[in-house]
Structure 1
Amino acid sequence: MKVRIAYIEEPPFYWTGPDGVPTGADLELADVVLRAIGVPDIEHHLTSFEELLPGVQQGRWDMNVPIFVTPERAELVTFSEPVWALGDGFLVARGNPKALTGYKAIAARGDARLGVVGGTIQIDAAKSSGAADSQIVLFNDQPSAVAALLSGKVDAYAATAVGNRELAAANKELEALAHEKGPDGRVPVGAFSFNQGNHDLVQSVNRQLRAYLGTADHRARMARYGIEAGEIDGVVASPGVTLDMNVERKK
């Protein structure tokens, strides 16, 4: 049995290492889970964010690396049990010259430009906070957005706080700022996604995720990539947490 998994370039979750081998926290999680359910052959497919859902729908691969769960996405694919709960943050030039502390700060400053990857939940989050379309600059991938930030074409890059921490650690010209939780206190969750007809694989993966998430081995592996306890506890601390409780939050 072979499972094909698609990923994009977005450290620390998934990326292509200098040796050409796909790596990252979520790819390691996928490897552990798939090996545990008896998959001997795992094939990785590098793609773009916008192709993740169409690709798995069309059968070009069998599963995607975790992305945020939304009601719209859940109509197109089947999501696994959630594997992390991650808040947003900004990546900005060191010193944060325009004092951009969150989406509302972008909206309040007409000359601020926010870089985001097309199709991500950060676009809706920015717009729902009042940012104008003209303030939002779309990019195909994370490297392009970070390059634009470094060149001054945008003033902030919106992504997960944990991902931005990784980027800031690798580039001293940048700093990462975590956003406060929303008024409801919820943090969006992410999960693997599958073709809606692939019931057997989904069920097998979910059984193993329920047994593995939150274990000492899982936490130690994630910690190596900078994923902290709070970013795991949001999906494992309460046995009653389900996707249905979380997809209501449209971000």
Structure 2
Amino acid sequence: MKVTIAYLQEPPFGWTGSDGTATGADLDLADAVLRAIGVTRIEHCLTTFSELLPGVEAGRWDMNVPLFVTPERAAKVAFSLPVWAIGDGFLVRAGNPKVLDSYASVAKRADARLGIIAGQVQHDAAKAAGVPADQIVIFEQQADAIEAVCSGGIDAYASTALGNRILAQQIGNAVEAVDHATESEGQQRPPVGAFSFNKSNGELIRAVNAQLCLYLGSSEHRARMARFGLTAKEIDPAIGHRSL
């Protein structure tokens, strides 16, 4: 049995290693779950964020790495059980010269420019917080947004708080990560992410969900995710979300 999973260049969730192989927390989780349900061949397909949902809808691959669950996305694809829950954050230049620590703080500064990857939930969050369209710069690739932060083309790049912390560690002293307080953005709990599938692929979806029920929160799961920086802070809210 073969399964093809699409992924993004977005550490710590997924990226292409120096040896050309796909790696990351989401791919590690997918590997553990798929092997447990009898998949003998796993292929990885690097793509862009804007192609994730259209690709799995069109059957170009079988499943996507986890992304945030929204009603709009759920109308197009089938989501697995949640696998992580992560709030937003900014990647900014060292010292955070414009003191940006939430979408609202960007909206209050007409001279602030916010970078966002096309189609990601951060775009809706920024607009809901009152950030005008002319302060938002859309990128197709994360690498371009990071370069814009470093060069001063934008003042902040919005993504997951965890992802930005990992990026800041990798890039070094030129940038820093700023977590958003969920209360400042009107969130009671961080949003959840889940694998997604073509809605017609019911057999795979059911098998993955059954294994996720057994595996998520186990000592093995926590240990493997810890290697990529995911902790109980990101795991436990997703597990708890199933019963909410």
After TM superposition, the score normalised by the length of structure 1 is 0.94
Structure 1 residues 6 and 239: CA distance shift in structure 2, 3 A:
closer
Residue 203 (structure 2) pairs with residue 185 (structure 1): no
Q: Matched residue of 1:42: which SS?
A: strand
The aligned counterpart of 1:37 is: 37
Work out the CA distance in 1 between the residues paired with 2:96 and 2:207.
46
- Please tell me whether residue 220 in structure 1 is matched to residue 223 in structure 2: yes
What SS does the aligned partner of 2:65 have? strand
1:69-84 equivalence runs, <5 A: 69-84=69-84
Q: CA deviation at 1:237?
A: 3.8
Gaps of 5+ in 2: none
User: Hey, what's the Cα distance between the residues in 1 that align with 2:226 and 2:165?
Assistant: 13
1:204 aligns with 2:207: yes
1:141-152 pair list within 5 angstroms? 141-152=141-152
For 2:73 and 2:236, how far apart are their aligned partners in 1?
Answer: 24
What is the CA-CA distance between 1:238 and the residue it aligns to? 6.1
Percent sequence identity is 59
User: Using the alignment, how far apart are the partners of 2:220 and 2:65 within structure 1?
Assistant: 20
1:79-158 equivalence runs, <5 A: 79-158=79-158
1:46-61 correspondence to structure 2 within 5 Å: 46-61=46-61
Count how many residue pairs are aligned between Structure 1 and Structure 2. 241
Runs of 4+ off more than 4 Å: none
Shift, 1:186, TM fit: 2.0
Counterpart CA distance in 2 for 1:238 and 1:46 is 29
Matches of 2:11 and 2:110 in 1, distance apart? 31
Q: Which digits, 9 at most, give the CA deviation of each residue in 1:153-181, with x for residues without a partner?
A: 00000000000000000122111011011
Once residues 108 and 21 of structure 1 are traced to their aligned partners in structure 2, the CA distance between those partners, rounded to angstroms, is 43
Q: Give the counterpart letter for 2:177 in structure 1.
A: A
The RMSD of aligned alpha carbons is 0.9
Q: Distance in 2 between matches of 1:161 and 1:115?
A: 14
**Partner AA of 2:180 in structure 1:** H
1:239/1:67 CA distance change after superposition, 3 Å: closer
Given residue 131 of structure 1, which amino acid in structure 2 is its aligned partner?
A: V
Q: Partners in 2 of 1:181 and 1:36 — Cα distance?
A: 35
Partner of 2:176: 175
Say if 2:82 and 2:241, in contact at 8 Å, map to a contact too. no
Which of 227, 230, 243 is the aligned partner of 1:240?
A: 243
Q: Secondary structure at the match of 2:12?
A: coil
CA distance in 2, matches of 1:238, 1:19: 37
Q: CA deviation at 1:236?
A: 1.6
